[in-house]
Amino acid sequence: MNGQWTIGIIGGSGLYAIDDLEDAEWRRVETPWGEPSDEILFGRIADVQLRFLPRHGRGHRIAPGETPARANIDALKRAGCTDLLAISSVGSLREELAPGRFAVVEQFVDRTVHRPQSFFGTGLVAHVSMADPVCERLSAFAAAAVQAAGAQVTEGTTYLAMEGPQFSTRAESEMYRQWGCDVIGMTAMPEARLAREAELPYALIGMVTDYDCWREDEAPVEVDEIVEQMIANGAIARHAVSAFIAALPERRTPSPIDTALNGAILTATSQRDPALLARNAAILARLNG
């Protein structure tokens, strides 16, 4: 690492653009994992390089379960990102997390079942730690940025990642509350897992749009209500991104996540699959350099 920040912003529902971006240019980044959700918007804010990727594609054309997470993370790695800030709309599982509030995620419960979860597999087996799945440093910057943008934020939340695309049943929503989950969404997994395998520190800002469906004295959430709140949240999120960039230290000091793959690959060198090694050229660039 050269001490410079290059921040990848993964925009979810409600965040489709970045304010204050200079020298902005959409560029296609090819990956061996297929096409990313969209081209990546390269640019900078002051002296900080930015790479913006709309998770669902421009126009919100990709369903949550079909988001090409491996291609997205690989593309951001190839684009030179040192750190990732993800922004997603979420439902609330707690009374105090009202629509319009923001949540900085600390933990995940993953209930997704149909999505490729790893860059690794037979022929190149690796196990990274996910005990602490987000970057503490980035998360602190993110919480401060939301406050600077004028919104209320709750830190240390647990995100339930569901498969979707349907919303929860009331029974599921109540079960997730009993599990200790605070917010619910459809896109942060396997995104956060893949970011860790790619040695990219990751933080997630959740923008609360609704109360899911656990409040039995209320009608279940409807999409038009969510969209209205998403628009309001998106305006705040754009200001938060600018505040996040402005607050970064001038020099990026190393993160433990920068070396998450140290000791993680178990397959003997002589038994490693050349094709899988080639697909992971960007992910393994530090180790192979």
- The pLDDT tens digits for 39-82 are 999 999 999 999 999 999 998 899 999 999 999 999 999 999 99
SS3 state of residue 54: strand
What count of other Cβ atoms lies within 10 Å of the Cβ of residue 95? 9
How distant is the alpha carbon of residue 203 from its chain centre? 7
- List, in sequence order, the alpha helices (H) in the chain: 69-78, 136-148, 170-178, 188-197, 223-247, 274-279, 285-288
SS3 state of residue 171: helix
CB 257 within 8 A of CB 192: no
Strand 83-92, strand 22-27: pairing: unpaired
Series of mean pLDDT values for 10-residue runs along the chain (289 residues): 90 73 94 97 94 94 96 98 96 95 98 96 98 98 97 98 94 97 97 98 95 81 76 88 95 97 97 98 93
Amino acid, single-letter form, for residue 186? M
The rounded distance, in Å, linking the Cα atoms of 104 and 88 is: 10
Q: What is the pLDDT of residue 235?
A: 86
- Domains within the chain, CATH numbers bracketed: 6-278 (3.40.50.1580)
Q: Would residue 212 show up in a list of annotated catalytic residues for this protein?
A: yes
Amino acid, single-letter form, for residue 31? T
Q: What is the pLDDT of residue 221?
A: 64
Q: What is the pLDDT of residue 226?
A: 79
Q: What is the pLDDT of residue 227?
A: 80
Q: What is the pLDDT of residue 186?
A: 96
Q: E strands, the chain, where?
A: 6-11, 22-27, 40-45, 48-54, 83-92, 102-110, 153-161, 183-185, 202-210
Residue 69 CB-density burial (10 A; 0-12 exposed, 13-18 middle, 19+ buried): buried
Q: What is the pLDDT of residue 216?
A: 79
The rounded distance, in Å, linking the Cα atoms of 229 and 245 is: 24
Q: What is the pLDDT of residue 234?
A: 84
Q: What is the pLDDT of residue 1?
A: 52
CB 38 within 8 A of CB 53: yes
Q: What is the pTM of this model?
A: 0.95
Amino acid, single-letter form, for residue 189? M
CB 108 within 8 A of CB 193: no
Q: What is the pLDDT of residue 224?
A: 75
Q: Would residue 210 show up in a list of annotated catalytic residues for this protein?
A: yes
CB 97 within 8 A of CB 146: no
Q: What is the pLDDT of residue 225?
A: 76
Per the residue annotation, which of 210, 217, 224, 273 is the catalytic one?
A: 210
Per the residue annotation, which of 212, 217, 224, 258 is the catalytic one?
A: 212
Omega of the bond leading into 165 within 30 degrees of 0 (cis): yes
Omega of the bond leading into 32 within 30 degrees of 0 (cis): no
